[in-house]
Amino acid sequence: MASDDLLRALDDVAYLIECAALDYRGELKHELSRLCESIETGAEGYTAPALQNELRELQAALAAYRADEKDTGASKLIRISRRWWQLARCGPAA
């Protein structure tokens, strides 16, 4: 069973991917920055170890979007989403 923190972050990433699909880059950069900060500071609801494990990749996605490398940013978000969904469905590997 997925933790509430992981599901909250998955919801955030789904919204980021929606923004990317619609090319709402201003909103995407703002929300991605907020997500990175929430994980970095250990804000309530963003403390699951799986989130900390992906922080650098999220920050790299944000840097890519800031550099107008939207394909790179989107690819990173999609990979993170897939890994988190795998954890949500199956839990961490033994």
Residue 13 CA neighbour count, 13 Å, CB half: 29
22 pLDDT band, cuts 50/70/90, is confident
pLDDT tens digits along 26-74: 999 999 999 999 999 999 999 988 899 999 999 999 999 999 999 999 9
Q: What is the pTM of this model?
A: 0.85
Instruction: Give the burial string for 64-81 (b: 16+ CB within 10 Å, else e).
Output: bbeeeeeeebbebbeebb
Consecutive H or E run containing 4: helix 4-22
